[in-house]
Structures are given as structure tokens and as C-alpha cells.
Chains A and B, each alone.
Chain A
Amino acid sequence: MADVVSAPSGADLELQALSKAFGDMVAVDSVDLVVPAGSFFALLGPSGCGKTTTLRMVAGLEHPTSGRIRIGTKDVTATRAFERPVNTVFQSYALFPHLTVLENVAFGLRRRGQADATASAMHALELVELAHTARRRPAQLSGGQQQRIALARAIVNRPAVLLLDEPLGALDLKLRRQMQVELKRIQTDVGLTFIHVTHDQEEAMTMADTVAVMNAGRIEQLGPPAQLYERPTTAFVANFLGQSNLLLGDVQSQADGVLSVAPRGGADRRPMLVRADRCAVTSGRILVGVRPEKLHLIAGDGTGPGDEDVPAYTNVVGPGVVVDVSFSGVSTQYLVDVPGAGQLTVFSQNIYDGAGHRPGDVVRAAWALPHSFGLPGDQDASAGREAV
């Protein structure tokens, strides 16, 4: 195992204006991307967003309509799949059914004429803790084991870039969580550049150093998972990566780096505050967003005694009516219908005694100023909500 770990880490991957069209359908639309060597990079998006096509172009299984692909210092755009220092873990695993597990893992090494192919393949099997299955056929293994064999078959070649095409998609939830941890461990051990394609936003956030959210053939936003989550820059990212409450308003004024936004559909409502450095636009129409777990529900309609004592730098929306309560153990999800603002989703952690509000209760929703973010007001507030 030692020689596997000490081998050089992967290489940079750079895509320049990469496009792919199938007839009239543009699957990948001028994607520019740099993935640094040794990083765990996730391409996240709904099905049909072009992420798998992008991956297949990097693998050499699909030829770009235009654009360049560079691995390390070498432009590989014109080379074919078997000439590229890239290996893929296929969604279906694509293990060779007529070969033993060991022969599957040794396949790439043998093609390159590596002398100690069998020994290296055994090391790779040890890395995925399946050395005891070496003599079996893939069909005799479980889905999770086949997945690990497919991974071993790819990493044993020490590719400059390792591509993972929804590698956990066929596994059940529990096994998937387990394999996420496993994959992350192996990536840290071998230090290769991993590019992981997935539609599972939780999977992408758990595993990747950097996540690129793709939509309709383009990269919507790219960054570390926490940044994408806390500071989405498009409505699609805000809705696809986790959930968001997006409220339409108009920027009224700016003071001390804080924008004051007048909510649409309610002149009597309090202005919403949002930090200018957390906004994609700082004037005109704006969507003020806040994550459901950042919201707190306050009982009452705000006219009772003492209700006006709202702390500074706190946003309050409402009053509204609780229309749905779903208790899930660790938290409760409320749907609050606020006239003029639409429905708000609120996650409340179960710190006290379960659900504190009932359907029909009149409540207001509050959140701290630093938690709001601002998106361009011309975007569809529901973009990416249904996409999975």
C-alpha cells in the first residue's frame, strides 16, 4: 500500500470554453473551469444539466464541439480515451463480467505493460478492503463491493485525473453515506485529483473541496461548499443547494454597507436588511434570501404589548399563518403563509419540546441581518426548486 500512497498526486485540469451540442441541443455551453491538482471537485446539477457530458469529454468518450481540454501541461483535446491519463468510475461500474476481480483491477496496468501489474492490483484491492475477493467474478459481489472494485480499477493506474460518474447513485442510502466517507478517505490517502459528478447536493457538499453547480449546460456558481451554501449568487443555486426563502423587494437605501430593501406587495411591512457584500446586485429589484434554519418564529402578530422590541439588525417578516407543521425528530419544518410575501419554509431545531406552533397559529419570522443574501431581482425565485 505504501507505494500507492507515495505516488505523485494528480494534475491540474483546465477546460477552456468547452461546448458540446447534440444536433440542436446544446448539452454543454462554453464551460471554463480550472481544477487544481489533488483537489476533490464536485460537478453538481440536476439530470440533463450537462455534467455527465462534461465528464465524458474529459474522459475522451465524447468529442467536444468546440473548446480545449488541458491536463497538466498537455492539451488532450485531440487525443482519444485510451491515450489520456484519466480513468473513470462508471455509474454502472462497467466491470468486465468475464474477468476475475483481480484481472479487472489489473486491466489498465496490463495495457500499459506495467511489470508488477498483479502485485499493484492486489495493493489496490487492499486499499478498498476487498483483497479476499480477488479470485471472484464481479457478478458474485454486492453492489457496494462492485463499486469499490470499480474504484480500485481506476485508482490503481494513478491517473492524473480520476472521474467519478455518479458512483454512489446505485447504492442505498446507508451504504451511500458509508461510501462517501470511504471515498473521501481514499482521496486523501492517494492524493489524486478527483472529479465527482453527482445530482445529490448533500453528497457534493460532504465530499468535495470545491463544488461547481451546473444548470442548462453552464456553471452557475463555483466555490467551497460552505460559501455556495451561505452566499449563493443565483436563485438556481439558492434553491438547488439546500432550500431558500426568496423575497422580492426594491433597494431603498444603503448605509454602513447595509442595504435596506422595501418588500414588494406590502408598503406597511418593515424593510428587510441585507449586507451589501452578500448581494449579487446592490440596486433596483432584488431577491432577499434566507435559509430556512436561520429563521425563528415569533408567536403573535406583532401588535401585542412588547412585540415591537425587535433587536437591532434583525429582519422580521409577517405576520403570517402557519399552514403546515411536519415533525421529523431532530427538527420541525413549518410552512408559513405570509400575505404578499408567499410561503416561507422554517426549520426549527428540536431543542425544547417538539413543535412549538400549530397550524393556524399567527406568527412572524425573524432572522439576523448577517444571514440574508441578495440575488438579482430579475431571476425566477423558484428556479432549481423542483430540479433533482
Chain B
Amino acid sequence: MSVAAAVTPPAVGAEAPGPRRAGRTPYLLLAPGLAVLAIFFVAPILVLFFTSLMVPVPGGDIGQFQPAFEVSNYTNAIREYWPIFVRSFGFGLLATVLALLIGYPLAYVIAVRCRSRPTLAQFMLVLVIAPFFTSFILRTIAWRQILADEGPVVSVMRALALLPSDGRLTATAFAVVAGLTYNFLPFMTLPIYASLERLDVRLIEAGQDLYAGPLTTFLRVTWPLSLPGVVAGTLLTFIPASGDYVNAALLGNPGTRMIGSIIDSQFFQVVDYPTAAALSFILMAVILVLVIVYIRRSGTEDLV
């Protein structure tokens, strides 16, 4: 026994670092990501939350606030800006629906119809991604040129009497929604492409073989199987589109302002940090609730 006791401790000591190091490795690998999240997500959210409850320093300068627990910041913000919230989500929803109507057929053609011609499919995929090579702002400004009063779109629409002779597109709700749709189209197209690309075309053939016409086959087979991509694409479009302020600022007018523009001006022009922070929190909360309801209803809980 004494020999065994004398031999065992060093053996344990020699073996121990191995398992212990292996146990630590995953956490070490996670550490950078967790640190980034803590510094750039959790900390700002907390700061924003405390800001949203602050009150102005009595007799202080503009932009001077002190800690408080002023819940009326939220109620005031909702009372004053609820129409803007409604408009933001309305524009976001409209842009999402339009992006789906454009993006789904596009993704379908690339992923299913061009499957036998991979080079063409890759080329079309590059075209979908190509706009990312230019700045988001620049592309939105380009839309001002396209929709300008002297631009080709307006001239054609006037000539076809789709627009009255003094009608315009810039600085309208149409321009804002068009800009949102355009800017977020790749976010809709790519996830749908990813799910359709995995679709087994033999399932479409099986549908046709089992007496389903083209429309029924689409509704019963293709659409349900592409639903994960559709859900991902609509979320990736709706969330940023609802909070966007670039399109509203560059393509809209004061009557088409979205909640993003209000938050922007509250922060940088009015310098009312608590209201801006409260608006940000309301936006986040509403989006979170909408997304949870949406995912539950579409039955793709595995995305959460």
C-alpha cells in the first residue's frame, strides 16, 4: 500500500493538467466573442437603459442630464411618436412584402431553374451580392437621381399618365419604400436561395407525379420546404427596415419620417438623450415581440 501511495500522487499530478486544460479550452475560445458582446452590446444597452430614465439637470445646460427613474420618458415618447412608430412598421412591412415578392422568384430561378447551369447561377448570385461593393448611403443617393423629377422614371411615368404632369417621386413615401425594398432585397434573397438550393427537385417531380399541378406543387411542396429561408429573409429585412433612417432621410420628406430619423434627431439635434434612448428601447421591444409572435406562428421555432 505504501508503495502504491508513494507512486500514485505524481501520476495523478502528471495526468491532471491534460483534462483540466481540455475543459478550459472551449471557454478560452469563447472569451473573445463574449468580451466583444459584453463591451459592445451589453454595456451600451445598460448605458442606454439608464439614460432612458434620466431627467434634465435642474437649471443645467441643454444636454445635461442626471440619473433618475423617470418612467414618464417612455409614456411621453409613446404619446408623442406613436404615429411614427406605426408608419415605420408599416413601411418596414411593405418593404418586406415587396422584397419577398421580388426576392423569392429571383432566388427560385437561381437555385432551382438554373441548377443545370451552375455558371449562370453563380453569375446571377454575384449580381445579387454586387451592390454590397458600394456604400449603402451612395446607393441610396443614387436612387435620388433615378427618381429625380427630371429623371427617366418620372418622365416615363408622366408620359404614361401613371403620374400627374406635376407629380414627383422623390421626397415621397413611394421613394422611401422603394429605397427600403431595394436596400434590403439581398437580405431577403440570400436566405431563400440557401433553402431552395438544398431543395431536392425530385420532390417537385414526386408532387407532379401525385396529381399536384404546378401551383399546388409549389404551395404544398416547394413553399413549405423553403419556409425557413423565407422566415430568415423576412426577419433580416423587416427588422433593419423598420429601424432604418437613411432611406427616410435621403428619399423622404418630413411627412415620411421613420422612427430611426426621430431617434437620430433626438440624439444629435434636439440633444434629448432620455427620449432618444426611450424610443430606442420601445423600438427594440416592439420588434422583439413581433418577431417572437411571427416565429411562433410560422412554426419554425428552431430559428430562435
Contacts and interface: CB of A to CB of B under 8 A. Distances in A.
B63 interface: no
A90 B212 contact: no
Interface centre among B206, B208, B210, B220 (most CB of A within 10 A): B210
Contacts of A59: 209
Given A82-B211, A92-B202, A112-B211, 14 more contacts: A59-B209, A80-B208, A82-B212, A86-B209, A87-B209, A94-B200, A94-B202, A96-B207, A98-B225, A107-B207, A107-B220, A108-B211, A111-B211, A157-B210
A280 interface: no
A107 B210 contact: yes
A77 interface: no
Contacts of B221: 96
A288 B210 CA distance: 49
Contacts of B202: 90, 92, 94
Contacts of B213: 82
23 contacts: A60-B209, A61-B209, A81-B208, A82-B208, A82-B212, A82-B216, A87-B210, A88-B206, A88-B209, A90-B205, A90-B206, A92-B200, A92-B202, A94-B200, A94-B203, A94-B206, A97-B203, A97-B225, A107-B212, A107-B220, A108-B211, A111-B210, A157-B210
B204 to A, nearest CB: 9
A166 to B, nearest CB: 13
Contact of A153 (B200, B203, B210): B210
B205 to A, nearest CB: 5
Chain B interface mostly helix, strand, loop or mixed?
helix
Contacts of A95: 206
Chain A interface mostly helix, strand, loop or mixed?
loop
Interface in A126-185: 153, 157
B225 A111 contact: no
A291 to B, nearest CB: 39
A-B residue pairs, 7 tightest by C-beta: A108-B210, A94-B206, A111-B211, A81-B208, A94-B202, A88-B209, A98-B224
Interface of A: 59-61, 80-82, 86-88, 90, 92, 94-98, 107-108, 111-112, 153, 157
Nearest to B202: A94
Contacts of B211: 82, 108, 111-112, 157
Contacts of A112: 211
A97 B217 CA distance: 14
Interface string B204-238: 01111111110011001100110000000000000
A111 B205 contact: no
B200 to A, nearest CB: 7
A60 B206 contact: no
Contacts of B209: 59-61, 81-82, 86-88
Contacts of B225: 97-98
Contacts of A90: 202, 205-206
Contacts of A92: 200, 202
B218 to A, nearest CB: 12
Interface centre among B203, B205, B209, B212 (most CB of A within 10 A): B209
A81 B224 contact: no
Given A94-B200, A96-B221, A98-B224, A111 B206 contact: no
Nearest to B220: A107
A153 B206 CA distance: 10
A97 B224 CA distance: 10
Interface centre among B202, B206, B212, B220 (most CB of A within 10 A): B206
Given A96-B221, A111-B216, A61 B210 contact: no
A384 to B, nearest CB: 29
Interface string B190-205: 0000000000101101
A112 B211 CA distance: 7
Nearest to A91: B202
Given A98-B224, A108-B211, A81 B200 contact: no
Contacts of A88: 205-206, 209
B72 to A, nearest CB: 49
B203 to A, nearest CB: 5
Nearest to B209: A88
B205 A61 contact: yes
Nearest to A87: B209
A60 B208 CA distance: 9
Contacts of B224: 98
B207 to A, nearest CB: 8
A90 B208 CA distance: 13
